[in-house]
């Protein structure tokens, strides 16, 4: 499990904001803080809050969801990958490494985006070569 940080324009139904986004291959869901989410999207509330445990063991409550979109770009190959998804909204979420949002496995898998990690510092890569919106059959 690993992660890659990128600054991206995240679009919601209200606005677009540049956010520090953590792509996390170990995150079972995408998460965004409530204050950040309120600036970009209308939050769909949950009937009742649910508990979520972060990788560092911290427990936070989730109170709703936020639909978002962005476009990933690979400057070396000139590839673009439109990414859409939903993030759980938590009033308690505060990134430990400056991230304002985490994009997790569901969005990575549904767009066939692969995170490639290197032993060399700064060589980690988001592979967009197979990028597409995949809808699995039920």
DSSP assignment of 71-122: EEEETTTTEEEEEEEEEEEETT---TTS-SEEE-HHHHHHTT-EEE--SSTT
Domain assignment present for 132: no
CATH number at residue 107: 2.40.70.10
- What is the per-residue pLDDT across 67-81, written as a single tens digit (0 to 9) for each? 999 999 988 888 899
Single pTM value for the model = 0.90
Domain assignment present for 117: yes
Domain assignment present for 138: no
Domain assignment present for 133: no
Domain assignment present for 51: yes
Domain assignment present for 15: yes
In the prediction, which pLDDT does 20 show?
97
CA–CA gap between residue 114 and residue 75 (Å, rounded): 16
- pLDDT above 80: residue 1: no
Q: Domain range for residue 91?
A: 3-127
């Amino acid at each position: 499990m690993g992660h890659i940080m990128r600054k991206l324009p995240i679009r919601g139904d209200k606005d677009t904001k540049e956010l520090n986004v953590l792509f996390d291959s170990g995150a079972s869901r995408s998460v965004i803080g409530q204050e950040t989410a309120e600036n970009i999207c209308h939050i769909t509330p949950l009937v009742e809050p649910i508990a979520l445990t972060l990788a560092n063991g911290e427990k936070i409550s989730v109170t709703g969801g936020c639909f978002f979109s962005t476009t990933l770009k690979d400057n070396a190959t000139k590839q673009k990958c439109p990414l859409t998804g939903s993030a759980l909204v938590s009033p308690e979420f505060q990134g430990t490494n400056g991230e304002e949002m985490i994009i997790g496995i569901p969005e990575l898998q549904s767009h066939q985006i692969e995170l490639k990690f290197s032993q060399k510092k700064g060589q980690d890569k988001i592979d967009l070569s197979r990028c597409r919106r995949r809808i699995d059959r039920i």
